[in-house]
Chain A
Amino acid sequence: MSTMIETAERPAPNLIRQPSGTINDLAIRVGTVNGSGSQSANLVLLRSLHRMGIPCSGKNVFPSNIEGLPTWFHIRASAKGYVGHRLDPQILVCMNAQTADDDVRQLKPGSICIYRDELHLADLRDDVTFFSVPFSRLVEEAYPAEAGDKGYRDKLRKVINMVYVGVVSYVVGIDFDAIEWSIRREFPGRKAKAAEINIAAARTGHAWAEANLPRNLPYRVERMDATNGQVLIEGNRAAAIGAMFGGASVLTWYPITPSSSLAEYLEEMLKKYRTRPDGKRTFTVVQAEDELAAIGMAVGAGWAGARAITATAGPGISLMAEFVGLAYFAEIPVVIVDVQRMGPSTGLPTRTSQGDILKLHYLGHGDCKHIVLIPGSVGECYSMAIEALDLAQRFQTPVFMATDLDLGMNLWLTSSFEYPTKPIDHGKLLSAEDLERLGGFERYRDIDADGVCYRTVPGTEHPLAAYFTRGTGHNEKSGYSERPEDWKRNLDRLARKLETARCALPEPVIDEPRRTSVGIVAYGGTHYAIVESRDALRERGLDTSYCRLRALPVHDAVIDFIDRHDRVYVVEQNRDAQVATILKTVVPPRLVDRIRSITHYSGTPIAVENVAPAILAREGLTESTNGHGGERLARKSDEPTTE
């Protein structure tokens, strides 16, 4: 061999200090350059693990950039089903010179670093196993230039990624059959030639590794049978499927990361599955000029009887605020999906967050309070999108669905979605025949004492159908009114309506096998870090119960959960403990002091390391926490760590 890896001569077990070897508990991180075509290679690794029956997940940590900036792909495979973010990889693949040094310095001792031979990383540390791989030479061997192929260099730049797939597959023991299957899946049909080229590249990488790297490396995977019937899907695609089966008929949107793919998936599916044989569509999709227009169109459509939906992210939510307030007050059904990201303006548009929750719940001006559904899995992205469309009609109000970039844009394992069993809900809608029978209606009169009034839509052919919709003060007949009693009565009824809705929203999911003094409340994509944290805490002797909040306003079951525990840690991905803040406003005063916060807000998805050590410290079970997960502790020294 012309190129020898620096460490190949030494037996691996002596090198790998910590953690010791694992089977089916794998974390790989691949550092590449954005736009270099590494996505296919990373998906091949992920799908191969899935193919081997091991629970897994893939996260694309990418910059706000089209080409040139660093990007990382995190792959996790776990027999225990831990598919949340993990801070430290065991295997690092360095393809990007820009970040390689930093990435290596952050590794835990005992990790393995696979890198392009020209990067010269091996001198950086002596507690990491380095495998220098001649990627450039290998890819040219696997994919020789064809005469006259002007795009050869560009193609080579992409195919080189499949060489690391081959190397990694050897290092961790992924079956090459699974790799081959995944490559063919990635390059189907007319791309068959590309598939063969990529398979050759992966095989070359694998063969080289077999010939040059030690056997029995410590981080291994083995076939298991835990992914049968499960699929990998992003939350945005899942939500789009839900919206289609939920009967969305009008989608109006404006591009914004990380929500754009939701709208694009939905449009793609509507075109495919909601077009009649004669080519006519049972839907419309409009890419609006901005978020103001996107929500304006959705509100106009909802008012006129459509099942309208829009998708956006934080800055778009801000632009939609005025219309959402109007829709709340004028009582117009509309669904708004917020795929949350970090920060204002551009902020960190490609990094995840749960920082919009408080704003969503109260968005508007004057007194507003909204229904917010918070899916905690891709499966719930699907089912809650269906539910959101029904709830909006049923309660004639804006309904938010709050997901986040991590859930929305990354691939998660899920069982196949279930076909909806509840019929589509059109709410309290009066037809011309109803009006004839009733002899009229008053738009804002609470006939049923549930706060939800009857409505008509334009186009109803009856002299008593019309009413005037306005943001200005109105009485029960929808007439203009500035009378204090009319205004207050209306606001009180809206509160009653929301109370009716509260009891109809998804209940929290509570896991409380036995009585514990410590409870955890979390929501959304934070769920996965909690699952793992509870096991970690149990190993340290701390039993916890878990309540996963799924909707706002807060369900009574959440309050009862808090009441059953001495200390409740509300774990969320924002700085100011937004849901903890909401909870403190709805629990009885005696429970307020039981609510504590664990927050994470760096833009990376929350990991077990951000949760378990913080809870242990607050419970007095460790001396202190440092580094990850300690942000909140460091700032809130005034809070008691134990009861």
Chain B
Amino acid sequence: MAASEAKVSVRTFDGRSLALPVVAFQGSASTLCKGCGHNSITSALIDACKAVGVDPYRTVKLSGIGCSSKTPAYFLQASHGFNALHGRMPSVATGASLANHRLLCIGISGDGDTANIGLGQFKHACRRNLPIVYIVENNGCYGLTKGQFSATADLHQHLRRETGEENLNSPFDLCLEAICGGATYVARSFAGDKKQLLPLLKGALKHKGTAFLDIISPCVTFNDFPSSTKSWEWARDHEEPLQELGFVPRLDEIEVEQKAGQSTRVQMHDGAWITLRALHHDELDVTCRASAMKLLAETKTNEELLTGLFYADTRRDNFIDTLNVVDEPLASLQQDDLRPSKDVLDTIMSML
């Protein structure tokens, strides 16, 4: 049977089972640069959606503006998508959830979209514990406008090339910001480590509150020189023989497999390196917010990017739970519900 004819079984909100063709989970062809980490994330996301049986008819894909924000067109074509405004995806997702609380929101953003222009909406979404899978495809630079620094660019990173202008501002650690803001599922991974990424994505899709994923995603075009931690070269200088790395040819998507508790140095497209260290399950109690923040604050100074699941709180009500809305989506309410009776108007007028 051809792949396109294969069916994926999904469960609807009311417990029915739908068999959907695989193509429902796929999207149009990517127009991003070849080798872009974002494409690896898209591929992992499709796999994760199929694996957990996401119902595409009740899923919405939302994004802001930037390279990352183009990706909702590349997966779940049976779902409504909305490429909104730069940095404003969280508010649009909030509105969609208000209108229809049965929707699963998958928000795709970038480091510029979230850490710069959209930091406010991002943190307010976390604060509300908005039910959303919030993915940042983090490459430390602006791709669409040709490589300017974002707020996740490394301190002392150079603009576009080794001799480019130096960044003198420390980066935000978006995972730290997310936990601090109130997100209830916070993880970091690497676009090329599908083995780590897939379970984290599956966990996020099953989570009922704000599930935030900071996914390091190398930019093959603008942030691929030796001194960038989001490039290949950086990692090469920090390589430890603990981790076997397969050779990844330039301009192919980068794949690595991290081992828990060990540092993994990843070579980026131009030969640069980054060091990832997958969290060992003994290192952290993921239900403890304070220890997650402490760990992230400490590793921020260690020139390595800690990956894995940092924090999960499955007990806190999400934003929509707190609003006490009727069971059916507000979007489907009809006149009987939307317009009170004439008696109500008469009562209001008589009280004036």
Residues of A within 8 A of B (CB): 231-233, 241, 244-247, 249-250, 252, 269, 273-274, 276, 279-284, 286, 288-290, 292-308, 322-323, 326, 330, 416-417, 419-420, 423-424, 456-463, 465-472, 480
Q: Which of B72-80, B202-210, B217-225 contacts A (4 or more CB under 8 A)?
A: B72-80
Least CB distance from B350 to A in Å reads 9
Least CB distance from B76 to A in Å reads 8
Cβ of B82 and Cβ of A300 under 8 Å apart? yes
Least CB distance from A93 to B in Å reads 26
**Given A303-B96, A304-B100, list of 10 further CB < 8 A pairs?**
A249-B331, A281-B323, A282-B338, A292-B121, A297-B91, A300-B98, A302-B95, A306-B330, A424-B335, A457-B100
B103 within 8 Å of A (CB atoms): yes
Least CB distance from B184 to A in Å reads 19
Cβ of B349 and Cβ of A417 under 8 Å apart? yes
A293 vs B82: C-alpha distance when bound (angstroms): 16
Most buried by A among B91, B92, B95, B342: B95
Least CB distance from B54 to A in Å reads 13
Which single member of B59, B62, B100, B345 contacts A419 (CB below 8 Å)? B345
B102 within 8 Å of A (CB atoms): yes
Cβ of B99 and Cβ of A305 under 8 Å apart? yes
Cβ of A305 and Cβ of B100 under 8 Å apart? yes
Given contacts A250-B98, A293-B94, A323-B88, are A424 and B339 in contact (CB under 8 A)?
A: yes
Q: How many residues of chain B have a CB within 8 Å of chain A? A: 60
Q: How many A-B residue pairs have CB under 8 A?
A: 220
Which single member of B84, B90, B103, B349 contacts A458 (CB below 8 Å)? B103
Q: For residue B80, which residues in chain A have a CB less than 8 angstroms away from its CB?
A: 456-458, 465-469
Given contacts A308-B99, A463-B78, A480-B73, are A296 and B121 in contact (CB under 8 A)?
A: yes
Cβ of B95 and Cβ of A245 under 8 Å apart? no
Cβ of B121 and Cβ of A300 under 8 Å apart? no
Given contacts A458-B103, A459-B58, are A297 and B94 in contact (CB under 8 A)?
A: yes
A503 vs B95: C-alpha distance when bound (angstroms): 31
A430 vs B348: C-alpha distance when bound (angstroms): 35
Q: For residue B339, which residues in chain A have a CB less than 8 angstroms away from its CB?
A: 245-247, 420, 424
Q: For residue A245, which residues in chain B have a CB less than 8 angstroms away from its CB?
A: 339-340, 345
B261 within 8 Å of A (CB atoms): no
Cβ of B96 and Cβ of A304 under 8 Å apart? yes
A296 vs B92: C-alpha distance when bound (angstroms): 5
A13 vs B302: C-alpha distance when bound (angstroms): 91
Task: Report B78-112 CB contacts with A as 1/0, cut-off 8 Å.
Answer: 11111111001011111111111011000000000
Task: Write 5 A-B pairs (CB below 8 A) sorted by A numbering.
Answer: A296-B85, A300-B96, A302-B99, A303-B92, A458-B59
Task: Report B323-352 CB contacts with A as 1/0, cut-off 8 Å.
Answer: 111110111111101111010111011001
Q: For residue A303, which residues in chain B have a CB less than 8 angstroms away from its CB?
A: 82, 92, 95-96, 99
Nearest CB in chain B to that of A479: its residue: B28
Cβ of B99 and Cβ of A273 under 8 Å apart? no
Q: For residue B340, which residues in chain A have a CB less than 8 angstroms away from its CB?
A: 244-245, 273-274
Most buried by A among B73, B88, B342: B88
Q: For residue A420, which residues in chain B have a CB less than 8 angstroms away from its CB?
A: 339
Least CB distance from A560 to B in Å reads 35
Task: Report B148-164 CB contacts with A as 1/0, cut-off 8 Å.
Answer: 00000000000000000
A303 vs B79: C-alpha distance when bound (angstroms): 13
